[in-house]
Structures are given as structure tokens and as C-alpha cells.
Amino acid sequence: MLEEICLGVYMSLEAFNKQVSELINKVSKSVVTIFTTVPSIDLFFGYREFRGAGSGFFVEEGLIVTNAHVVLNASEVNVLIPNRKREKAKVLDVDPYRDLALLRVNVRDVEPLKLGDSDLLSVGEMVFAIGSPLGLPGPSVSMGVISALGRTISGEKLVLEDLIQTDAAINPGNSGGPLINARGEVIGVATAIIPYAQGIGFAIPINTVKRFLEMIRKYGAPVRAWLGIYVTPVTNEVATLYDLPVNEGVIIVNIVPGSPAEEYGLKVGDIIIEAAGKLVKKVSDLRTAVEDSIDSECVELRIVRGYKTFKTCIPPIVEKIK
């Protein structure tokens, strides 16, 4: 009896391993290695060129998504598609605030990856990071789980909100590569922009990527609509730990000096529970409401401060990112 059970478990693992291997092989055909040349003026050595590397993946025919920091200031960008020669790429759009960029290559026969829905993710879900770590020709793959959702992380010159945290290995060179689920859907874009991360990695939710592409289609360029606040989700644990009056919403952790938020009197510790008439449970809920107000005069917020609730309508700053 025990031998039969062990044999059944073994056969199940064998089938699972085969399915994962086939899935990774299929997805990897649409993942590219990106090589960049970045010019620089050195005080002592004059003009110099620095070589960089990252990853990316096809989202539409001839269109590749990667991280903004992978291609920022690059004078030349080339991509290596698996089993092909290098192709020159053109940088179409860069959004440093989302850390996303869109490239075009003259290739028409690579299948775009299927984009999932990052709003449906759960902690503990199995994920795979595919890319070219440390600039080594890839793609290579690492496996892990989703460790946390809704992370807000500060880099050297950037604050990224609503990130996916994972224990799948993400190293320099993985930046811009896809984080996929067990169905082969892209649920995030790996970013190795956080230099102090130890044993954990972060990814930009795929719904942020969809929003980025939608903005380009609608306005011809990425558009930033912002109030000047950084927020993090309120959870039951956070509400209990800090004795908050609500257990849903997003709490303001920082305010940009001179921003509309400061001008209209918002404060660190304020909890936004509603924006543009819709409940706010995640950072992306607030961002979407603010961006949807681009053609309006202001975005109405319902805020909890202490044990009082009030409403205010704040006009966002809107700018096209070139």
C-alpha cells in the first residue's frame, strides 16, 4: 500500500515537472536579453561608454516591455531573442515613475506573452522569474512564491508603489523580465532596482503595465497624474498594530513638498478610503482613480483622520512623460 502511494506521488511530481518544463520553454521563446550602450562624460577620462544588460518580453507584435532603468539614457539598445541574432531596438516610450519602457524591434514572428490579472494574486501563489541574471545570455528561470503584495519600496532616486514581493531570485540583469504564474501568464515585471534586497525580489504588477500601454494608446505617451503622496495599504494586521479606526484603505506615508496634497492640507497618517466615488483598498485603486480624473477638474477623496471622516476634492498635476 505504501509503495503504491509513493509511486502515485512520484508519478504526480513527474507530470508536474514535465508541465512546468514545457511551460517555461514556451514562455522563454518570447523573453529577450537587452544590451545597452550608455554614454558618459568622466572628469578625468573624458567621453566613455558603459555597457548594461537587462531583460524584456514581447507584449504585442514587435513590441517589448522592460524596465525604464534598463534603457534610460542609452544611445544604443540591442535585444537578443532566443535562437536568433541580435536585433537593434528603438525606445518608443519611457516612464521612470512606473519604471517601465516600451521598445520596438523589426520582428514579426514572435508570439506575445499572455498578460494575467495582478488584482487576482494571492500570497503563497507559485511564480517563476525568467530573464538574464547578471547579463548572462538566457533566459534562465528561478522559482518561488508570492511573499507579499502592495509593497512600497524606495530606491536611490525612485519610490515604487504596489509592488509584488517574491522569494524567486531576481538579480541585476533580470530587470524587465516577466514574472509568470503556473498558467504561463505574466503577472509582473521583475525589477532589481532595490540594491539592499536580500533573499527577496520585487516585481511591478502587470496591471500597471496594462495601464502604461493604455496611456500610450490614448495619449500618445505615458501620462502621469499625481497628487504628491506616497501610500501603503491598510491591512487587518496594520490596523491592529497601530490601533487604526479602519481596516481598509491606503494610509499616507509621505507627502511631496509643494504638491497639491500639501496645498490641500493632507497629512501623513491620513487614510484614504474612497476616491472618485469608489472604495480604495489597494494602492492601484487610488492610482487608477487619480489617472481617470485626468479630464476632470479634481479627484474627490474621502479621508479618515483620527476618528473623523471628511471629503476633499484635489486637482491632480498631469504631465506627459517624454
Contacts of 223 (CB under 8 A, 6+ apart): 215, 291, 294, 318, 319, 320, 321
The Cα 62–Cα 109 span in angstroms is: 8
Cell 508570439 appears where?
Answer: 111
- Cell representation of residue 259: 504638491
Residue positions counted in the chain: 322
211 CB neighbour count, 10 Å cutoff: 20
Task: Report how far residue 61's alpha carbon sits from residue 82's, in angstroms, rounded to the nearest whole number.
Answer: 16
CB of 71 closer than 8 Å to CB of 103: yes
Q: 10 Å Cβ neighbour count for 220?
A: 10
Q: Are 203 and 166 in contact (CB under 8 A)?
A: yes
Question: Distance (Å, rounded) from C-alpha 103 to C-alpha 73?
Answer: 14
Quick count: other Cβ atoms within 10 Å of Cβ 313?
13
Give the end-to-end CA distance of the chain in Å, rounded to a whole number. Answer: 67
Question: Closest Cα partner for 74 from 97, 58, 94, 44?
Answer: 94
Nearest-angstrom CA–CA distance, 117 and 13: 27
Which DSSP category does 115 fall into? Answer: B
Question: The C-alpha cell of 52 is what?
Answer: 548594461
* Active site residue ranges: 69, 99, 175
3-state secondary structure of 234: coil
* 3-class DSSP state of 220: coil
Is residue 40 within 8 Å of 76, Cβ to Cβ? no
